[in-house]
Chains A and B, each alone.
Chain A
Amino acid sequence: MKRALSAVAALVAMVAVVAGCGTGGPESIVDKDTLVIAVRSDLPYVGFRKPDGSFEGFDVDVARYVAGKLGKDFSLVPVLAADREKVLVDGRADMVVATYTISQDRKATVLFAGPYHISYQDILTRRDDPIGNVRELAGRKICEVRGANAAQRVVEERKVAAEVVPFADYQACLAGLKNRQVDAVTTNDVILAGLAMQDGSGLRLSNARFNEQRSGIGLPRGDVPGCEAVNRAITDMYQDGTAAKLLHTWFDASGLDLSTIAVPQFEGCS
Chain B
Amino acid sequence: MTVVSVRVPPAPARRSVPGRIRVISGVTAGCLVLLFAALAAGGLTVRDGLQVIGRDAGPQVVATAGLYLALSDMDAVVADVLVMGDAYERERDKATARYEQRRSEANQALLKAFELSGDNEAERRTVQSVLDGLGAYERLAGQALLLNERSPHPPGPPPEAVVRLYRQATDLMRLMLLPQAYNLTLENGTIVRRTYDDKATTVPLLRGTVVLAGLLAVGCLVWLQVYLARRFRRVFGPALLIATLAVAASTVVGAAALGQNEQALREAKSAGFDSVLALARARAISNSMQGDQSRYLLDKERADTYEHTYLDKSLSLLYVEAGNLETYHAKVADNSGGFRGLLGPELVGAKGAQVEEAYQRFQAADTTFRTLAADGRVGEAVAARLDPVSAAFGAYDRSLVALADEHESVFDRAIDRGESTLGGLWLLLPFAAGVIGLLVVTGVWPRLKEYR
B27-35, B57-65, B154-162, B375-383: which lies at the A interface?
Answer: B27-35
How far is A219 from B204 in the complex, measured between Cα atoms in Å? 31
- Name the A residues within 8 Å of B325 (CB-CB): 157
Q: Answer whether residue A118 sits at the interface, using C-beta atoms and an 8 A cutoff.
A: yes
Question: What is the total of A-B residue contacts with beta carbons within 8 Å?
Answer: 118
- Name the B residues within 8 Å of A266 (CB-CB): 179, 182-183, 186
Are the CB atoms of B209 and A265 closer together than 8 Å? Answer: no
How far is A104 from B208 in the complex, measured between Cα atoms in Å? 43
- Name the A residues within 8 Å of B209 (CB-CB): 12, 15
How far is A209 from B274 in the complex, measured between Cα atoms in Å? 36
Looking at the assembled complex, report how far the CB atom of A219 sits from the nearest CB atom of chain B, in whole angstroms: 15
| Contact A104 B281, CB 8 Å, known A210-B305, A266-B183 | no
Are the CB atoms of A15 and B205 closer together than 8 Å? Answer: yes
Q: Indicate the member of A12, A20, A236, A264 with the most B CB atoms within 10 Å.
A: A12
Sample of 11 further A-B pairs with CB below 8 A, known A118-B175, A264-B175, A270-B278: A4-B30, A5-B30, A22-B201, A103-B315, A156-B323, A158-B304, A209-B302, A211-B304, A239-B122, A270-B189, A270-B274
Are the CB atoms of B304 and A212 closer together than 8 Å? Answer: no
- Name the B residues within 8 Å of A211 (CB-CB): 304-305, 308
Looking at the assembled complex, report how far the CB atom of A251 sits from the nearest CB atom of chain B, in whole angstroms: 17
Of the candidates A156, A210, A224, A263, the one whose C-beta lies within 8 Å of that of B324 is A156
Chain B: residues with Cβ within 8 Å of the partner, total of 53
Are the CB atoms of B179 and A262 closer together than 8 Å? Answer: yes
Are the CB atoms of A8 and B201 closer together than 8 Å? Answer: no
Looking at the assembled complex, report how far the CB atom of B289 sits from the nearest CB atom of chain A, in whole angstroms: 13
Q: Answer whether residue B23 sits at the interface, using C-beta atoms and an 8 A cutoff.
A: yes
Looking at the assembled complex, report how far the CB atom of A213 sits from the nearest CB atom of chain B, in whole angstroms: 9
| Contact A8 B31, CB 8 Å, known A158-B304, A211-B308 | yes
- Name the A residues within 8 Å of B180 (CB-CB): 262-263
- Name the B residues within 8 Å of A153 (CB-CB): 323
* A 198-242 to B, binary, CB cutoff 8 A, 1 in contact else 0: 000000000001111000000000001100100110011001000
Are the CB atoms of A212 and B179 closer together than 8 Å? Answer: no
- Name the B residues within 8 Å of A225 (CB-CB): 194
- Name the B residues within 8 Å of A5 (CB-CB): 27, 30
Are the CB atoms of A263 and B122 closer together than 8 Å? Answer: no
Of the candidates B31, B197, B321, the one whose C-beta lies within 8 Å of that of A105 is B321
* A 252-270 to B, binary, CB cutoff 8 A, 1 in contact else 0: 0000000010111111111
Are the CB atoms of A104 and B316 closer together than 8 Å? Answer: yes
How far is A234 from B190 in the complex, measured between Cα atoms in Å? 15
Q: Answer whether residue A23 sits at the interface, using C-beta atoms and an 8 A cutoff.
A: yes
How far is A269 from B125 in the complex, measured between Cα atoms in Å? 22
- Name the B residues within 8 Å of A212 (CB-CB): 305, 308-309, 312
